[in-house]
Amino acid sequence: MLVLTRRTNQSIVIGPDVTITVVEIRGEQVRLGISAPRHVTVHREEVLEQIRDENRRAAALSGDDTAMLPRRAADGAGKSKR
């Protein structure tokens, strides 16, 4: 792990197009601003872990569980009527 010291309004650049700037330091809290292209996903670690957990649960659905999901194609939902 690389450990850097930065002050307010100082930045760290990752690759050619991601910049992390220290916006504010208040006590033990640090506010960061992140500038990245739209195709780069940025999540707080705890949010990313929640997403991973949900994906694992969804992937572990059994056949009985999937029977409870809505059947959009079969019931014609979402189709326009002419």
pLDDT value at 14 more than 60: yes
What is the tens place of the pLDDT at every residue in 42-58? 999 999 999 999 999 88
pLDDT value at 81 more than 70: no
What is the tens place of the pLDDT at every residue in 25-44? 999 999 999 999 999 999 99
Measured CA to CA in angstroms, residue 16 lies from 12, 75, 80 at distances of 11, 49, 46
62: confidence class by pLDDT, cuts 50, 70, 90: low
Domain boundaries, the chain: 11-61
